[in-house]
Chain A
Amino acid sequence: MQVIKFEFLKLLKKSRGWLGPILVFILIMVAYPLTVEVSDVELSQSFFSILWIAALLVIMLATEDIFLEDFNDGTLEQYAILQKNLSFIIGSKVFVYWLVIGVPISIIGTIFCVGTTSQTAFGYQILPVLLVSTYIFMNVFSFGNALSLTKGSVLGTLVTLPLLLPLLIILGKVVVAINFDLNYSGFLLLLLGILSIIIMIIPMIISYIIRAHLE
């Protein structure tokens, strides 16, 4: 709890870190209708693909320097020396990032979804999917950025983005299910299952990587 509170305050102080990605997300959501010839049907059809890609890119931006600052000022080294579980600390760090960036993005995305498709029912259905998928994105991109900690975030994105493409296929299936009013809870459970595996494994891998960086 102490760790979560500490990370939370640290992230809130750095407004560029959390406000920036959210604003970029809003800007993308506002800007894309300009590129579509305005007719409501086309807009709502292409909305979901823009939504997933925007969420993906914004989370990529947000996790860009998730470990870099702590690595440079030695915080991570202190964490690693501590007898506490490093992977727990990293897990809570990712959780805080999701709480401060992922959750607002999901809510804003839901609002835009209701606004664009003008169907309130879509909103209820899309919100849990967005919440879960942003958390998965957050974890995977943190893994990539831990890999390329001192080498810039392009490399980390390059190696982890391919891993997320199967997830995008699942998200596309969710949209089809929602559009045709089918039962989409199976996909939601699948996403939750992926998330539960990722939550356990990724912090362990990241802590292993960070220890290797500190050697």
Chain B
Amino acid sequence: MFQVNRAYPYIFYLSLITYLLSIFWGLFLTPEDFVQGNSYRIIYLHVPASFISQSLYLAMAIASAVYLIWKVKLSVYLVRSIAPIGAVTTFIALISGSIWGIPTWGTWWAWDARIVSTLILFIMYLGLISLHDSFNNNEKADKFLSILVLVGSVNIPIIKMSVEWWSTLHQPASITLSEKPAIDLVMLYPLFGSIIGFTGLITCLVILSSKLQIIKREKNKSWVKDYV
């Protein structure tokens, strides 16, 4: 029935091990930062969470485009199941950033472009969920949800470029595809590991949640009764 069931344990354990190892590496084996001391170590939570929160929105946008163009029902189930997970990861990114802000910037919160646009992303996720839940007619709700996701995706480039378009408190990206990373390699390897591990864990969550969504929405079909 679900082909993904076979791959699921591999993804889960591999990414869990990767994440725990890189967290251990990052927390205990890397040296202290010259300026920030030990406080920079929250990077191994903050960066993966913010990365995932934006990537999930991108995935939602692609899935809604697929739904609107080809009417693939599964893709809109995916959109609906990603939305709460995206909200949670965005929340983690905001909170961890705020905790990191205290020792480095001396403030919990700043009205800075990157932070505000991430907050907007968080509110967008919540708005998407409430929009979808307010309609009894599922097909209508799916249509509106995917339209809103597509319209809201203008926020993603704004978040991405906010640190370069505005002069902000938040630092520009340390890792880019085209240039040499501005972060030392000793800290970079565990960071990559934590991003990959976190991505894998969130992928597992998305798989579980979309399975739930499919069963919930198709509960009147006969194959669901056979499966459950």
Chain A interfacial positions (CB closer than 8 Å to B): 143, 147-148, 151, 155, 158-159, 161-163, 165-166, 169, 205, 208-209, 212-213, 215
Contact = CB atoms under 8 A, between A and B. Distances in A.
9 closest residue pairs by CB, A with B: A159-B127, A162-B120, A162-B123, A212-B143, A158-B127, A151-B134, A162-B124, A165-B120, A166-B158
5 contacts: A147-B148, A148-B131, A163-B151, A165-B117, A166-B120
Given A158-B127, A162-B120, A169-B116, A208 B140 contact: no
B120 A147 contact: no
A208 B158 CA distance: 26
Given A158-B127, A158-B130, A159-B128, A165 B116 contact: yes
B117 A166 contact: yes
A166 B113 CA distance: 8
B155 interface: yes
A155 B133 CA distance: 11
B51 interface: no
Contacts of A166: 117, 120, 155, 158
Interface string B138-149: 001001100110
Nearest to B122: A162
Contacts, number: 56
A215 B143 CA distance: 12
B152 interface: yes
B69 interface: no
B151 A143 contact: yes
B105 interface: no
A213 B123 CA distance: 25
B108 interface: no
A169 B114 CA distance: 11
B148 A159 contact: yes
B135 interface: yes
Interface in B70-116: 113, 116
Contacts of B154: 163
A80 B158 CA distance: 35
A208 B147 contact: yes
Most central of B127, B135, B140, B154 by chain A CB within 10 Å: B127
Contact of A212 (B116, B123, B140): B140
A155 B116 contact: no
A163 B147 contact: no
A151 to B, nearest CB: 5
A212 B142 CA distance: 11
Interface centre among A155, A169, A215 (most CB of B within 10 A): A169
B60 to A, nearest CB: 14
B61 to A, nearest CB: 14
Contacts of A215: 140
A165 B140 CA distance: 27
Contacts of A213: 140
Contacts of B147: 147, 205, 208-209
A159 B131 contact: yes
A198 to B, nearest CB: 10
A163 B131 CA distance: 15
Given A169-B113, A169-B116, A147 B155 contact: no
Nearest to B142: A212
Contacts of A151: 134-135
A155 B155 contact: no
Contacts of B130: 155, 158-159
Contact of A162 (B127, B135, B140): B127
A113 to B, nearest CB: 23
Contact of B155 (A162, A169, A208, A209): A162
